Structure 1
């Protein structure tokens, strides 16, 4: 009878605790974290064994940098019987943030022993290996993650990064073998096709696929500005200098296109020259951040050459900061830019400079997926479609692995 009364009492209190936990979940999703934390604790006061409340409280505490308290909440969830793989995964993530790399490795290992199909655990274990410079292990982990979740863009991006590091640090044969397998396993994935071919060294693409560029920059959008700042990115400033040096003082009289505008890093320098400032980019994620600057009159999500072709004789100035590094063959893009400019209109651009002993090679795609161009080819491609070359110079665009990446800055006009 006592056991029966206990069961009846538990059936009566569980719905209340669960209801409170769900309300807390909604508050947390809305960003009302302090209120959510209080409600999780109320839920646990009603039912201290409600495992989901312990876990979700742990997630909230972790988001608020309460790592030790989050770990305690996850351990309480584990004691309360929540799915063990998830809890060990969460614990491993907290331990990694706290610097407990040995404990984190154990946590991921246990999570994967309990659930070998846990793609996120494979990915995060691979992140840990990458941080420890165990790049072969990291590549293996990322490969398992995307095998389980073939459409996971973040997983493919991480795998690409691991293969790039393997290649650049002297393990090129292993990187190439894994890249071939990646390309074979995921033939419809644009990142596997483009980066895989670049690492193997057999790319025949005249330009990076639109789907690859869109996927890459949608993933990169949130951290784009900060990351480029860390790399000492100078292309927008260099192009702004070229615009100022090659034309009249800013009088807000030009129709300007910021080609491949990204998050709008060129906008502030271009705005004083512009009667109308437009931007076009393949990545909707990048355009959201460009729009937030409030400097553009028009922003369009679309492919650059198609946009140029649809706007003949429209612009007085087209600025392309590190956009043509996603094109190998420049002829079609330059012809479209020429047609979109008004007479005396200018094209100001940057590309990465190809420095290679093979003089016959006019451009090459690197293992990072971007194309570098020979200076002589850039000159010839501009002149071939009718441009008059006003200026061309070499300068550093940014740092990569601590070394300067040299680029070519060109200013050309439509006669």
Structure 2
């Protein structure tokens, strides 16, 4: 699973060195050595959460579920904001509900660490094109609805470094972005494309906005870190003016509702998205199967949606 890679110190040189050995062993899939070294670190620094997480993940790979759950829960107790992302591991082990797996703290830490290499890694290594696909879908949606490809106030949810704003440049009267990661927002600020940038959780951000003030709400590959989408659909509907558009991408799965995938991202089902759109007062303009990125060279299945506020 994606994990923040920043390394912290225990304050004990011996423990730090053993932890680095444990990380190397884990990366080489020598889980017995990684678990043994993690136990040695814990003996020297019992409150070092990364070592507890390492022990938990190594034990899980070795099939020692009881030890894994105990270590992971202890890591979570030590760091409740879960910057290490151990809640995902606990969910995979059946020790936590899937919809409780990903927290704001984990996403913030992940993308703060990811920010310096984000654009290059996404576009080069992962062949990422979510914003490009959304912009193209919006052009087609505007054509279908016989409206100009021009938007009033636009809200960019999970704006990251500003890739979506780059695709919409010149098409919005104003655009504001929100993201959990301050380092990603620093990158977005450098684009000079945003009228305002906000640090925070996207549903809370939407809740703070005035009813009917926005013409467009966009979310490029953001909902992969959210389980139930009901609150964001509800708030997007509230902040949009009549006939305003809501465009987004998600990862897809063939069943009902949502699932937590092996890639530590949520995938959402077609019937769930269609039903939610209808319940919240949206008209479906575009609903397509797409792939916004690759994983080890294989396209990741997804959905591309453009909804219009109908009521």
Q: TM-score range by the shorter chain?
A: 0.7 to 0.9
Q: 1:197 aligns with which of 70, 90, 97?
A: 90
| Contact 2:91/2:97 (<8 A) preserved | no
Deviations 1:262-307 (A, max 9, x none): 1111111112211101100111111011111111111010111111
Distance 1:327 1:151 in 2: 28
Distance 2:277 2:308 in 1: 9
| Contact 1:316/1:342 (<8 A) preserved | yes
Q: 1:411 aligns with which of 292, 306, 309?
A: 306
| Contact 1:213/1:282 (<8 A) preserved | yes
Equivalence for 2:73: 183
- TM-score when scaled to structure 1? 0.62
Q: Tell me which protein shows more helix as a share of its residues.
A: 1
How far did 1:373 drift? 0.8
Would the alpha carbon gap of residues 206 and 195 (structure 1) be closer, same or farther in structure 2, given more than 3 Å must change? closer
Matches within 5 A, 1:278-357: 278-311=176-209, 312-355=211-254
Q: Tell me which protein shows more strand as a share of its residues.
A: 2
Equivalence for 2:136: 241
Greater relative contact order, per chain length (Cα 8 Å cut-off, separation 6+): 2
Equivalence for 1:215: 109
Q: Unpaired segments of 5 or more residues in structure 1?
A: 1-113
Equivalence for 1:122: 18
Q: Unpaired segments of 5 or more residues in structure 2?
A: 1-11
Is residue 275 of structure 1 aligned with residue 173 of structure 2? yes
Distance 2:42 2:138 in 1: 44
Distance 2:200 2:217 in 1: 16
How far did 1:176 drift? 8.2
Q: Could you say which structure has the larger radius of gyration?
A: 1
Equivalence for 2:275: 380
Q: Which stretch shifts more, 180-189 or 311-320?
A: 180-189
- Count residues in correspondence: 288
Would the alpha carbon gap of residues 277 and 202 (structure 1) be closer, same or farther in structure 2, given more than 3 Å must change? same
- TM-score when scaled to structure 2? 0.81
| Contact 1:176/1:200 (<8 A) preserved | no
Distance 2:197 2:280 in 1: 27
